[in-house]
Amino acid sequence: MIGGAPRPVAPFSHAVRAGDFLFVTGQMPTDPVTHEVVGEDVETQTRQVMANLSTVLAGAGTTLSRTVFARVYLTEFQRDYAAMNALWETYFEVGKRPARTCVGVTGLAVGALVEIDLVVAL
């Protein structure tokens, strides 16, 4: 486990290096201290997910700016897509945003509204 990151919700690693890439497990909107889901809206939860991703990346010696691909999972796709996008664009510099897939799902672990995983170039 990477220091400062929330404990995984299942038996997996936060991130695995393969060659020149770091594959980061989908992060949940959980507080790293209390391990509870933060917030009841997609904006609050997205901020926490991005904070958790940043913590995992810092532990691996890198940052969000090195992200080449992301996958976003939303339980309320139609309702939350625009709000999640509004926050998403604040984390990445224009012209240097990663490729991304956004998927609507019927449910996520811990009752989360959003989960995001990354592939990062090292």
Instruction: List pLDDT tens digits, range 71-107.
Output: 999 999 999 999 999 999 999 999 999 999 999 999 9
Say what the pTM is: 0.96
Using alpha carbons, select from 3, 122, 21, 2 the residue that is nearest to residue 62. Answer: 122
Specify whether domain 15-121 bears CATH 3.40.30.10: no
Q: In what order do the strands lie in the sheet with 114-121?
A: 15-18, 21-27, 114-121, 67-74, 99-104
Other C-beta atoms lying within 10 Å of the C-beta of residue 91 = 17
pLDDT of residue 1: 58
Overall average pLDDT of the 24-40 stretch: 95
Q: How confident is the model at residue 9 (pLDDT cuts 50, 70, 90)?
A: confident
Using alpha carbons, select from 118, 121, 120 the residue that is nearest to residue 50. Answer: 118
How do the domains of the chain map onto residue ranges?
Answer: 15-121
Q: Which residues pair with 72 in a beta bridge?
A: 102, 116
Pairing between strand 114-121 and 99-104?
A: unpaired
